[in-house]
A and B are shown apart, each in its own frame.
Chain A
Amino acid sequence: MSWTRKILRVDLSKGTCTSEPLNMEWANQYLGQRGLASKYLTEEVDPKCDALGPDNKMIMATGPLTGTMASTGGRYSVICKSPLTGAIACSNSGGFFGAELKFAGWDMIIFEGKSDKPVYLLIQDDKAELRPGDGIWGKSAWETDDILHQTHQDPQLRVACVGRTAEHGCLYAAVMNDKHRAAGRSGVGTVMASKNLKAVAVRGTGGIGNVHDAKAFMAATNDGKAVLAENAVTGQGLPAYGTQVLMNVINGVGALPARNMRDVGFEGAENISAEAMAEPRKSDGKPNLTTNGACFSCTIACGRISTVDPSHFSVKDKPEYQGASGGLEYEAAWALGADTGVDDLDALTYINFLCNEDGMDPITYGATVAAAMEMFEDGTITTKETDGIELKFGSAEAFVAITEQFVTGEGFAADLGMGSKRLCEKYGQPDLSMTVKGQEFPAYDPRGIQGIGLAYATSNRGACHLRGYTIASEVLGIPVKTEMNDTDGKAELVKAFQDATALVDSAGLCVFTTFAWGMDNIAPQIDAACEGDWSVENCLETGERIWNMERLFNEAAGFTADDDKLPKRLLKEVIKHGPTEGQVNRLGEMLPKYYEARGWTADGKIPDETRQRLSL
Chain B
Amino acid sequence: MQKSLNIDPGKCTGCLQCEMACSYEHTGTFNPSRSYIKVFTFHHEGRFAPYTCTQCDEAWCMRACPVDAISVDLTTGAKVISDDKCVGCKVCTIACPFGTVNYSQATGKVVKCDLCGGDPQCAAACPTDAITYVDADWTGYDRMLASAAKSLPSAEATA
Chain A residues with CB under 8 Å of chain B are 67-69, 71, 96, 99, 103, 156, 179, 204-209, 211, 214, 225, 229, 239, 290-299, 301, 303, 305-307, 323-325
Q: Which of A69, A206, A214 has the most CB of B within 10 A?
A: A69
Bound CA–CA A132/B47 (angstroms) = 34
| B105 cross-chain contacts in A, Cβ below 8 A | 205
A101 nearest CB across to chain B (Å): 13
| B106 cross-chain contacts in A, Cβ below 8 A | 205
B56 nearest CB across to chain A (Å): 25
Report which of A71, A239, A290, A294 forms a contact with B46, defined as CB distance below 8 A: A290
B45 at the binding interface (Cβ < 8 Å):
yes
Report which of A209, A294, A296, A307 forms a contact with B28, defined as CB distance below 8 A: A209
| B46 cross-chain contacts in A, Cβ below 8 A | 290-291, 293, 305-307, 324
Bound CA–CA A207/B30 (angstroms) = 5
Interface of A is mostly: loop
| A68 cross-chain contacts in B, Cβ below 8 A | 20, 30
B39 nearest CB across to chain A (Å): 10
Q: Are B13 and A294 in contact (CB under 8 A)?
A: yes
Q: Are A298 and B15 in contact (CB under 8 A)?
A: yes
The 8 closest A-B pairs by CB, nearest first: A207-B31, A324-B46, A323-B44, A290-B46, A207-B29, A209-B29, A294-B15, A301-B13
Bound CA–CA A388/B46 (angstroms) = 37
A208 nearest CB across to chain B (Å): 5
Bound CA–CA A204/B29 (angstroms) = 13
Bound CA–CA A291/B11 (angstroms) = 9
Q: Which of A69, A207, A229, A292 has the most CB of B within 10 A?
A: A207
Chain B residues with CB under 8 Å of chain A are 13-17, 20-21, 23-24, 27-34, 43-48, 105-106, 125, 127-128
Bound CA–CA A178/B106 (angstroms) = 27
In the complex, residue of chain B having the shortest beta-carbon distance to the beta carbon of A203: B33
Report which of B14, B17, B32 forms a contact with A103, defined as CB distance below 8 A: B32
Q: Are B43 and A67 in contact (CB under 8 A)?
A: no
Bound CA–CA A296/B33 (angstroms) = 14
In the complex, residue of chain A having the shortest beta-carbon distance to the beta carbon of B42: A324
Bound CA–CA A298/B125 (angstroms) = 11
In the complex, residue of chain A having the shortest beta-carbon distance to the beta carbon of B44: A323
In the complex, residue of chain B having the shortest beta-carbon distance to the beta carbon of A214: B28
A149 nearest CB across to chain B (Å): 12
Bound CA–CA A71/B127 (angstroms) = 10
10 A-B pairs in the complex with CB atoms less than 8 angstroms apart? A205-B31, A207-B33, A208-B29, A208-B30, A209-B31, A214-B28, A291-B46, A296-B15, A307-B46, A325-B43
Q: Are B43 and A299 in contact (CB under 8 A)?
A: no
Q: Which of B30, B125, B127 has the most CB of A within 10 A?
A: B30
Q: A69-B21, A293-B46 are in contact. Are A301 and B34 (CB under 8 A)?
A: no
Bound CA–CA A325/B128 (angstroms) = 21
Q: Which of A294, A296, A303 has the most CB of B within 10 A?
A: A294
Question: Apart from A68-B20, A69-B17, A69-B21, what 14 extra A-B contacts exist at CB < 8 Å?
Answer: A69-B30, A69-B125, A156-B33, A207-B27, A207-B34, A211-B30, A239-B13, A291-B47, A291-B48, A293-B14, A299-B17, A301-B13, A306-B46, A324-B43
| A103 cross-chain contacts in B, Cβ below 8 A | 31-33
Bound CA–CA A419/B51 (angstroms) = 45
Q: Are B24 and A293 in contact (CB under 8 A)?
A: no
| A290 cross-chain contacts in B, Cβ below 8 A | 45-46
Q: A69-B20, A69-B21, A207-B23 are in contact. Are A294 and B14 (CB under 8 A)?
A: yes
| A211 cross-chain contacts in B, Cβ below 8 A | 30
Q: Are A225 and B30 in contact (CB under 8 A)?
A: no
A391 nearest CB across to chain B (Å): 32
In the complex, residue of chain A having the shortest beta-carbon distance to the beta carbon of B128: A301
Bound CA–CA A207/B27 (angstroms) = 10
Q: Are B15 and A301 in contact (CB under 8 A)?
A: yes
